[in-house]
Structure 1
Amino acid sequence: MPIIAGVDIGNSTTEICLARLEAGRANEYLASSVVKTTGIKGTAANVPGIVIALEEALQKAGLSLQQLSEIRINEATPVIGDLAMETITETIITESTMIGHNPSTPGGIGLGAGVTAAYSDLDRAAAGEKILCVIPQGIDFEDAARTLNQAAERGIDIQGAIVRQDDAVLIVNRLKRRIPVVDEVTLIEKVPLGMLAAIEVAEAGQTVKTLSNPYGIATVFGLSAEETKLVVPIARALIGNRSAVVVKTPQGDVKARSIPAGFITITGQRGKTDIDVEAGAVKIMEAVERVQPVLDVQGEPGTNVNGMLERVRQVMSELTVQPLAEMKIQDVLAVDTFVPLQVQGGLAGEFALENAVALAAMVKTSRLPMQQIADLLTERLKVKVVIAGVEANMAIRGALTTPGTDKPLAILDMGGGSTDAAVITKDEQVFAIHLAGAGDMVTMLINSELGLNDFDLAEDIKKYPLAKVESLYHVRLEDGTVQFYDQHLPSEVFARVVILKEDGMLPIPAEHPLDKIRHVRREAKKRVFVTNSLRSLARVAPTGNIRHIEFVVMVGGSALDFEIADMVTDALAEYGIVCGRGNIRGLEGPRNAVATGLVLSYQRKEV
């Protein structure tokens, strides 16, 4: 009665299935475990995580290493995701021509236009002159409001104010005439004085209309058609803002500097094609499908995309100790996204969303790194270690332990770095595909589009639902329902968008509203998981037509997600496919499919 350990090395987790096998009798599944994968999947750095997971499973089963007959590991293909920018249009503003940030509480409402004047020079302004007052650091809000009221009483037409401190609402509340006020301008000393300027503040929940429109700016400043072309980058950078200031200086230079992403050359079994990254994700993926299966992908020398692809090769070459020339990229997934870029020349850390293309690249390595893992495990544990088979083939054997399933069957194995699909026919023929892009890419998109610069926070946003704390005793969930609490909530979460984790609420430090965060999260999942599910199933369908697949079982860590499985199910319903989460061995849910399949592969050969 051999005791076998199936070890599934994934991008995010390493899973174990421990079973006692005996010919002619039902398998006795002893224990399972899951731990975080150490290092990049498919490298020698995986060994410590495998050992920890094995020890945990053996402890649960009350066994020792010496009782293990064999350890069976999967052939793990590593996947690395990175961002390659598409035609990033960097807005360059010289001579401090623009301010366009979004303080959380600007004051007043409306549009004002006039000449910028220092707070200390208000008493020199002439009656009837239209003024935008620039109020520096250290001026008390009551003094500022009093001075503005006195200037207005002398006949000066105060059109608005630009303030260094967070005082906009306090100042406006004390004015006799309501004017737009933008505050929190960190580099206020760089605001040019004596120049024509416009300021706009929208109502709460609204965005600026005039200064985010190039023709609106042209109207305010009396620009010619040629000058209007130059202010397009300014207008674009102000789209979505609640407040904005534009200052016109004679020496001001506004231009959009294009940073080309370059083209990629995709070599496949059906030919070779070049595609410019500027064409976008849809065109890139069409090119991939024309030549697939992909043999390698190269980037244009000296460009952004080439740097990204070569970095992926370099990392994998170093980790697997294989020559750089042997590192071939066997699949890419391209997704259109947005990246917040700082506007060069802004005065308050302004950002503008620019187009980008996210690329997940999968490097094909030889069997050598897996053999290194097997050799290291054998040496350390003194147990026979076998590389048993390809992930997708193992996953489909594990998926067949789900109650209510039978051949023919297709599986979607959705992990951290790759999406695998496989089909097993009635006569036990297996067709499998291994594609780049899964949970890690979704996290990367969320991190990028929300400008978080915090991968762990983006991972939490991906995995858990959201809520808005509306009082210390209730929250509004993202589906609109309200949840009340007997005890008051921590004060630090009040009025914040929070992530609802198992161990409590985690406030999101960014100022994005709940609806935007939810939209970014859901769209990232659709663009990665739904796209990859459809293209992987189309590749493995025996006839090449996805409609000829009847049943699909979803397995892998990402199938546990609270909304991904529903998204994929909805997408496949259009093709008349029955789809649902797996329940491996009737108790593991969608996890442990590959590990279970590895155990079963031993039984087929040996028992």
Structure 2
Amino acid sequence: MKYIAGIDIGNSSTEVGIIRHDQESWQFVASSLFQTTGLKGTTENVPGIIRALERGVENAGIAVNELDLLLLNEAAPVIGDVAMETITETIITESTMIGHDPSTPGGVGIGTGTIVDIMGSQQTHSKDEDIIFRIPNEVDFADAAAIINEWVEQGFDIQGAILQKDDAVLVSNRCEIDIPIIDEVTEIGEVPLGQPAAIEVASSGQTIDTLSNPYGIATLFELTAEETQKIIPVARALVGNKSGVVIKTPEGDVEERSIPAGSLTVIGEDGSKSTVDTENGAHAIREAVSSLRPLKDVTGESGTNIGGMLNRARTEMSEITNQDPNSIQIRDILAVDTIVPQAVKGAVAGEYRMENAVALASMVKTNRLPMEQIAEELEQELAVDVHIQGIEASMAVLGSLTTPGTDFPIAILDIGGGSTDAAYMNEHKEIESIHLAGAGDLVTMLIDSELGLEDRKTAEEIKKHPAAKVETLFSIRHEDGTVDFLETAVDPELFGKVVLLKNDGEMEPINSDHSLEEIRTTRREAKEKVFVTNSERALRQITPSLNIRHLPFVVMVGRSALDFEIPEMISDTLAEYGIVCGSGNIREEQGPRNAVATGLVLSHIDGDSFLDFELPDELSTYYREGDDK
């Protein structure tokens, strides 16, 4: 018996396919999967490879020392890094104006007046003065309501209240007058006394319309045209809110300014260059990258986040491979327009506003040296011969051709965590491949930033699972509007929450105030921006005519092909070009997994009976090594 193992080291996982040769034929006997250890294409991968092999041989019923040959994919290390560049920011100096949106305000309507401490004396205020109370933590909700009622009885015009604690509804229910009340203002001490303020609370199911309108604010505060221009950022920050408060002080000012987002210089292999400012948006960056392909390098402006991101990628790869940072090049970059919540500087209650931003993913490639180091370490650890068999994308094509119903010419898409890989085999069995920046990690970052989660783990789970709303203890509403009635009650703590539906039937709550529709829209738009955009970009570049319509078959392989909606999104897009596209089924049993590992083995045995055509010399080592079938 002879056993050969193909090993595919991916960004996230390491896959193994084991084939056995008896007296008559080759037969695949096992497959396995283990999380990749370390950065793909470095010696840190060795422990993960060994664990994957141990799982594989266990499934095959043999020991590791019974393996005769290990075949590795030839893949230079790739770093897929991501960064966010905010194009504008709002600066509020000296707490000039505050836009706030607590989850449970009290009362309804608009109130304007001067801010007064609720423990202050009535003797220092005129009954002709409109008053908005500032209520700190030390004042109990019942006492606050009693004081408000007392002032009203004395003839004072109380227009509203600003609370530090989450007590707006409790105070409102005990007040004899209906006034708008804002709560959860954490830095209540920063709310200036004696200054004019306006409070607005919308009716149930509505959003505010006066404080979210710059002219509405101008009317309430009698602002000049110049002052109205300066409060535009505050009005924008309050759009869509259920409530809000704006406070004006004479000392401060509000200004919205553009910050230097940095520029990129794209360098083509022919030496041509193009510099594009990030302020011009993602489309301008993608156009510059596309016009100069193939790329030699991309550099970022010194002192900016973009420059720092690209330099960080070079430095990280330099430390891993012991190469000169100057010899490591950025071979691709993907830019995506997005919006991110930015904290308002000088705010007193954690206010933020949505800002335009550009998300970037970069890819760094080095030489083949690390793969040779991996092979040497494996030979020393396992005492088994190790060969670097073939280019990863080419091997993926061979593995994909074991999917029933496929034929060449054929293209494959392998969308991982850090990069999007594509390859095309033409009618002459020649293969063209490409590796592009931007994949699952970038999608996770977009979801995390656009929803303001500040939790990459939760963002990753949102990316991977559909969501639903728990409407009753016995029913949930899915994203498409359909309702499922449950046989057993859900955990009462999940009632009214948006949850993720895990594969094992578990419901995991999302700890945010976002609606089901917001979560679904954000997730799908992030996938569209990255997965669909990159798929079209990759396929266009590997097609000889640069026309996607000339591709008859596209097979999706890898982890993303198992996603609950990515294959459908890409298939729908490619259907417009008349392309047959779907997830692969490697060896008729593996689904979209194991394409590269399978291709490595097929390359070594010249396809045998698994492929119905003869492999060209550049895709096979069978004839060169004279292996015995």
CA contact under 8 A between 1:86 and 1:277: conserved in structure 2?
no
Q: What is the Cα deviation at residue 485 of structure 1? A: 2.5
Residues in 2 aligned to 1:23 and 1:459: alpha-carbon distance in whole angstroms? 48
Q: Tell whether 2:154 aligns with 1:154.
A: yes
Tell me how far apart the structure 2 counterparts of residues 168 and 376 of structure 1 sit (CA, whole Å). Answer: 65
Q: What CA distance in whole angstroms lies between the structure 2 residues aligned with 1:476 and 1:546?
A: 39
Deviation per CA, 1:298-349, whole angstroms, max 9, x where unpaired? Answer: 0111222101110111111112222111110111111112222211111111
Which ranges in structure 2 are unaligned for 5 or more consecutive residues? 607-620, 623-628
Q: What does residue range 176-575 of structure 1 map to in structure 2 within 5 Å? A: 176-269=176-269, 271-503=272-504, 504-575=506-577
| 8 Å Cα contact 1:396-1:597 kept in structure 2 | yes
Shift of residue 484, structure 1, vs aligned partner:
2.5
Structure 2 equivalent of residue 32 of structure 1: 31
Secondary structure of the structure 2 residue equivalent to 1:120? coil
**Cα separation, partners in 2 of 1:469 and 1:15, compared to 1, 3 Å:** same
The DSSP-based 3-state class of the residue aligned with 2:120 is: helix
1:67 corresponds in structure 2 to 66
SS at match of 2:330: strand
In structure 2, the residue corresponding to 1:519 is in which secondary structure? helix
Query: Shift of the alpha carbon at 1:85?
Result: 0.5
Q: What value does the CA root-mean-square deviation take over the aligned residues?
A: 1.6
- The alpha-carbon deviation at position 147 of structure 1 amounts to 2.1
Take 2:462 and 2:431, find their aligned partners in 1: how far apart are those partners? 36
Q: 2:609 aligns to what? A: none
Instruction: State the 1:207 CA deviation.
Output: 2.7
Deviation of 1:200 (Å): 1.2
In 2, Cα distance between equivalents of 1:24 and 1:226: 88
SS in 2 for 1:352: strand
The aligned counterpart of 1:10 is 10
Q: Given the superposition, is the C-alpha separation of residues 84 and 158 from structure 1 closer, same or farther in structure 2, using an over 3 Å criterion?
A: same
CA 1:227–1:23 in structure 2 vs 1: closer, same or farther (change >3 Å)? farther
Structure 2 letter corresponding to 1:579: C
After superposition, give the CA deviation of every residue in 1:204-263 in whole Å (9 maximum; x if it has no partner).
443322222222211111111111121122222223322211111110122234331211
CA contact (8 A) 1:550 1:577 kept: yes
Matches of residues 134-173 of structure 1 in structure 2 within 5 Å?
Answer: 134-173=134-173
Cα displacement (A) at 1:594: 0.8
| CA deviation string 1:76-117 (max 9, x = no partner) | 34132221414231x222222233232211112222111111
Structure 1: segments with no counterpart, 5+ residues: none
Aligned-partner residue type, residue 160 of structure 1: G
What does the per-residue CA deviation read over 1:151-184, in whole Å, with 9 as the maximum and x for residues that have no partner? 2233322211101111111121222332111101
- For 2:626, the equivalent position in structure 1 comes to none
Secondary structure at the aligned position of 1:99 is classed as: coil
> 1:122 deviation in Å?
6.1
Q: 1:221–1:38: structure 2 CA closer, same or farther, 3 Å change rule?
A: same
Matched residues in 2 for 1:191 and 1:513: separation? Answer: 31
Distance in structure 1 (CA, Å) of the matches to 2:341 and 2:371? 39
Are the counterparts in 2 of residues 86 and 280 from structure 1 also a CA contact under 8 Å? no
Q: Secondary structure of the equivalent of 2:235?
A: helix
Q: Within 2, Cα distance between the matches of 1:420 and 1:96?
A: 49
Deviation at residue 488 of structure 1 after TM alignment: 2.3
- TM-score by length of structure 1 reads 0.97
Cα distance in 1 for partners of 2:370, 2:267 equals 24
Range with greater deviation from structure 2 (332-341 or 582-591): 332-341
Deviation of 1:21 after TM superposition, in Å, equals 4.1
Work out whether residues 44 and 320 of structure 1, in 8 Å CA contact, stay in contact via their aligned partners in 2: no
Taking the aligned partners of 1:377 and 1:337, their CA distance within structure 2 comes to 43
AA aligned to 2:263 is: F
Q: Distance in 1 between matches of 2:86 and 2:184?
A: 32
Using the TM superposition, give the Cα deviation of residue 282 of structure 1 relative to its aligned residue in structure 2, in angstroms.
0.8
3-state DSSP of counterpart to 1:273: strand
Q: Distance in 1 between matches of 2:603 and 2:143?
A: 81
C-alpha distance in structure 2 between counterparts of 1:228 and 1:23, whole Å: 87
Tell me which residue corresponds to 1:587.
589
> Would the aligned equivalents of 2:87 and 2:358 in 1 still touch at CA under 8 Å?
no
CA distance in 1, matches of 2:38, 2:445: 18
- Do the aligned residues in 1 keep the contact of 2:137 with 2:165 (CA within 8 Å)? yes
Distance in 1 separating the partners of 2:229 and 2:364: 44
Corresponding residue SS for 1:192: coil
- Quick check: 2:81–2:309 contact (8 Å CA) kept in 1? no
Is 151-160 or 219-228 further displaced after alignment? Answer: 151-160
Question: Is residue 16–residue 53 contact of structure 1 (8 Å, CA) maintained in 2?
Answer: yes
Q: Distance in 2 between matches of 1:321 and 1:16?
A: 28
Q: Is the 8 A contact 1:263 1:277 kept in 2?
A: yes
Alpha-carbon distance in structure 1 between the residues aligned to 2:83 and 2:203: 36
User: Counterpart of 2:409 in structure 1: which amino acid?
Assistant: P
Cα–Cα, structure 1 residues 240 and 316, in superposed 2: closer, same or farther, change >3 Å?
Answer: farther
SS in 2 for 1:571: helix
Q: 1:146 to 1:583 in 2, by over 3 A?
A: same
TM-fit CA distance, 1:379: 1.1
Q: What's the offset of the Cα at 1:502? A: 2.8
| 1:516 partner SS | helix
Deviates more, 1:372-381 or 1:114-123: 114-123
Partners of 2:481 and 2:31 lie apart in 1 by 38
Post-superposition offset of 1:478: 1.7
- How do residues 76-87 of structure 1 correspond to structure 2 at under 5 angstroms? 76=75, 77-87=77-87
Q: Is the 8 A contact 1:79 1:360 kept in 2?
A: no
Quote the Cα distance in structure 1 between the aligned partners of 2:229 and 2:132.
Answer: 25
CA distance in 2 between partners of 1:145 and 1:83 (Å): 49
CA displacement at 1:437 relative to structure 2: 1.0
Instruction: Give the counterpart letter for 1:324 in structure 2.
Output: P
Cα gap change, 1:24/1:215 in structure 2, threshold over 3 Å: closer, same or farther? farther
Partner secondary structure for residue 377 of structure 2: helix
1:98 and 1:347 in contact (8 A); partners too: no
Partner residue of 1:129? 129
Give the conservation status (yes or no) of the 8 Å contact 2:403–2:585.
yes
Kindly provide the CA deviation profile for residues 24-81 of structure 1, in whole angstroms up to 9, marking residues without a partner as x. Answer: 73x3111111111111111111111111001001001011122212111112341322
* Contact persistence 2:98–2:234 (CA under 8 A): no
Q: Deviations over 1:464-493 (max 9, x none)?
A: 111111222222122212222233222332
8 Å CA contact retained: 2:45, 2:374: yes
Letter of the 2:331 partner, please give it: Q
CA distance in 1, matches of 2:477, 2:13: 33
Pairwise CA distance, 1:22: 6.4
Q: Give yes or no for contact 1:328–1:363 (8 Å, CA) kept in 2.
A: yes
Cα deviation, residue 421, structure 1:
1.2
In the alignment, what sits opposite 1:110?
A: 109
SS in 1 for 2:532: helix
- Give the 3-state SS of the residue equivalent to 2:605 in structure 1: helix
Number of residue pairs matched by the alignment: 605
Which ranges of 4 or more aligned residues in structure 1 deviate by more than 3 Å? 21-25
Rounded to whole Å, the distance in 2 between the matches of 1:340 and 1:255 is 17
Aligned to 1:596: 598
Give the partner amino acid of 2:160: G
SS at match of 1:98: coil
Q: TM-score, normalised by structure 2?
A: 0.93
C-alpha spacing 1:284/1:524, structure 2 compared with 1 (3 Å) = same
Counterpart-to-counterpart distance in 1, 2:31 and 2:100: 52
